[in-house]
Amino acid sequence: MRVPALVLVGLLVVLVTACGDDESTDTTAAQPTTLSVAADVVWGPFNLTDDQKAVQSCVNDAHFPRNSQIVWRARVIDPVTGDQMDDTVVAVQVKLGDGQVIDLKYGDHPKNTPTDSFWAGSFKVPVDYPTGTLSFEVVATATDGRTGTFVPFNVAASLLTITDETLETIAG
């Protein structure tokens, strides 16, 4: 008895599929290893009057005068769990283009009436600091070795810039 060719081809496909090493059936997905880092830059209260603090402190900006305070705020998200990472599992730093490193601290903000928790750290711009663009990156390093980096958009008008203006020193 002669077996039709189509039946033989069908049996061959079934055997190859059943016995083959088909990687597409592997249901184990690779876990993401890069931490998600989001950050922004806001005004700190240093050398602002009480009236200015009420409307300017913790407000986003990219242009800061000398003798002012730049504050970085950041969140670090674990890509596996989707949870925000605190200081028990990650360290966060701002690395400035001039070589300085600023350690961020995790905590509740604002200080007196907290509504959120995130990483924060600041830099008081010296009176004689060079003007122009100040590059930075925010780097997170988890205790398990995973890392993540935030780099701002490379758009001239939005880059962190130290202006020619110098804030007056306010006694405090």
Q: How far apart are CA 126 and CA 67, in angstroms?
A: 5
Q: What is the largest CA-CA distance in the chain?
A: 105
The reply to whether 66 falls in a domain is yes
pTM tops 0.85 = no
Provide the domain count of the chain. 1
Task: Give the pLDDT score at 27.
Answer: 54
The reply to whether 78 falls in a domain is yes
Domain CATH code at residue 102? 2.60.40.10
Cis peptide before 130 (omega within 30 of 0): no
The reply to whether 87 falls in a domain is yes
The reply to whether 27 falls in a domain is no
Residues 6+ apart with CB under 8 A from 61: 41, 42, 43
The reply to whether 160 falls in a domain is yes
The reply to whether 129 falls in a domain is yes
Q: By residue range, what is the domain housing residue 92? A: 36-166
Per-residue pLDDT of the chain (172 residues; tens, 9 = 90+): 454 444 333 433 333 444 444 454 555 667 788 999 999 999 999 999 999 999 999 999 999 999 999 999 999 999 999 999 999 999 999 999 999 999 999 999 998 899 999 999 999 999 999 999 999 999 999 999 999 999 999 999 999 999 999 999 997 6
The reply to whether 101 falls in a domain is yes
The reply to whether 8 falls in a domain is no
